[in-house]
A and B are shown apart, each in its own frame.
Chain A
Amino acid sequence: MKNLILKILGGISLTSVLFVFQACYGTPQDMEQDNQFEGVVKSKASGNVIKGIKVKTNFEGRQVYTNESGEFNIFLPLADQYKLTFEDADSTLNGSFASYDTVITDVPGYVRLDILLQPK
């Protein structure tokens, strides 16, 4: 009930800034939408996770590498279509794998990907 009264009072006494405020020495608040892509990269032959795989996106400069557990996680701005490319970036250090592309459309906010890379 108090929350409802707060919204009504806030709305008629001034503006929505009453709810979207900014602390003196802080940043603006973040209310924007974006999409999260996360998953794990494994060898198609052995099923083992692969670390050090570069996950490139169709947003310039936006890329991550898989960690020790073969996992990756990246946030990207809203778009109609996403292209993710998985590249073996460390030569033969963790095996040698062929690159793989995937195109994703209609992203609902979060996408989980399990990627299998073919050994060369």
Chain B
Amino acid sequence: MKKSAPVSAVLISALDVQRAFGAVRAVDGLTLEVRSGEIYGLVGPDGAGKTTSMRLFAGALLPDSGAMQICGFDLASDVESARSTLGYLSQRFSLYEDLTVLENIRFFAEVRGLPSAEWLPRCLEILEFVGLDEFVHRRAGQLSGGMKQKLGLATALVTRPRVLLLDEPTTGVDPVTRQDFWQLLIRLVAVSSNREADRVAVLISTPYMDEASRCHRIGFMDGGRLIAEGTPGALRARLSGRVLELRGAPLSLLRSTAHQNADVEDVQAFGDHLHLRVRERTGARVVKQLRPRIERAGGKVDALQPIPALLEDVFISLTGSPHA
């Protein structure tokens, strides 16, 4: 008894967006769409253009060219309407430390023009959702890092946005907090997904490749450009059969022998074993060649086999080998 999912709408869109700071093309031809019910991850290193993209989507920065829409509202011609539908949590988000949890939310709600008859019941619901309902009267300065982050999310949610923009909300935070945060986010998108009019779209940026696998779709950013896009599974499948695990001894011999093989593009040490990335359709050949070569040189091979690629392997294969 599979229910057909309601038709999803494009809630976030960018078409060929450019934004430069002086000579630096911070965002260079960004085109993307995020639909309701979707968590889309912008993934890339510092300086890739993630934060600039977020600020453009939040209407805090104007693009040099290109078009952007939030919930169908054009960010250039109708930024007020667009803003009224979005929640934005910036990297350097700050709370009022000497105000209580409730007072902080009240402040952000009233700044957004919500009357108390509207925000009060909603905010109690949101505080319960993020797990802060027992701390409504605690001062923000007295909250743990994880609780502050949840309060930040709560203030972004109080206007009941359909679009949530989260700029590196988990950088440097405790993995326990990070796990809780993601559970909230995924539940927010999943729970709201029964009525199309309530469905939320989330755009989140992160420098963590491993964290990105929790998104429905990922866009890899590098040098201001979106260099690849897809589900985590589809992106990993791009390197299917091209990452080999090599175990044996001595490690230095394994490394140098692997580097000498023309089909091996990259060698990475992982403690007591190596990962090799090989050229397309050469996996079987490398396995066949490498083992005898290592053994002839006096080494020992315990295992040499294909393993699933990491998202990081995919990103690196797209941005160039460190040995190039």
A binds B: no
**Partner-A contacts on B (CB < 8 A):** none
**Partner-B contacts on A (CB < 8 A):** none
